[in-house]
Amino acid sequence: MIFEIDNKILSEDLFSQFFACDVSRCKGACCVEGDEGAPLLEEETHLLERDFESLQPFLDRASREFLEKEGRWVQGSDGKPCTPLVHNGPCAYALVSPDGRARCGIEVAWQNGATSLRKPLSCHLYPLRITKSGDFDLLNYHRWEICSSACENGCSLEMPLFRFLKEALVRAYGSSFYEALEAAYVYYCQNKEIPSP
């Protein structure tokens, strides 16, 4: 099934797939793996420029030096802004602890009141990826093997993907959109069998 809500097109994966991050197992691999950094909205690039000084205490030395030299954000292969990767490794805003666990330094700064940017919206919405097609937003589940523990955890909790992403979806589109998602989920459950966890 494909659903349309307020000029957003979403696949049934949001309802049929179970997902819940288990950082104790994946160690925040999405902050350190990949070919490019996190996509950024234009307003997020402005916030990173504006709040860079207050973000610095929440970044490690190598990241601070890299961001000072290379810039707070870069253009991705599609020409759109994204977070830089430190020497093609982790996101420049990732905090990696000695045990290898990564956290978003922007989010840690936000938790401490140092910035109004919680984290890039693209990170908050992950593993949902949003692309544009004319006037429509296409919402699709991005499958990545590093998230296998999140899939297992989501199955054990019986957590549909859209519910795991509630806070991010409300941030992106508002509470009325999320309420419409809940209504669509009821319709989906009544009309198609949910795979067993």
User: Which has the closest alpha carbon to 112: 61, 168, 55?
Assistant: 55
Q: Write down the pLDDT at residue 154.
A: 96
3-class secondary structure, 19: coil
3-class secondary structure, 47: helix
Q: Write down the pLDDT at residue 1.
A: 77
How is residue 59 written in tokens?
Answer: 């970044």
CA distance 105 to 75: 20
Residue 45 has pLDDT above 80, yes or no: yes
Q: Write down the pLDDT at residue 192.
A: 77
CA distance 83 to 40: 7
Alpha carbon 3 to chain centroid distance?
Answer: 21
Q: Write down the pLDDT at residue 197.
A: 47
Q: Write down the pLDDT at residue 196.
A: 47
What residues have CB less than 8 Å from 45, skipping those under 6 apart?
72, 73, 81
One-letter amino acid for residue 33 of the chain: E
pLDDT in tens, 90-142: 999 998 888 888 999 999 999 999 999 999 999 999 999 999 999 999 999 99
Give the predicted TM-score (pTM) of the model: 0.90
pLDDT in tens, 56-73: 999 999 999 999 999 999
For the chain, the average pLDDT equals: 93
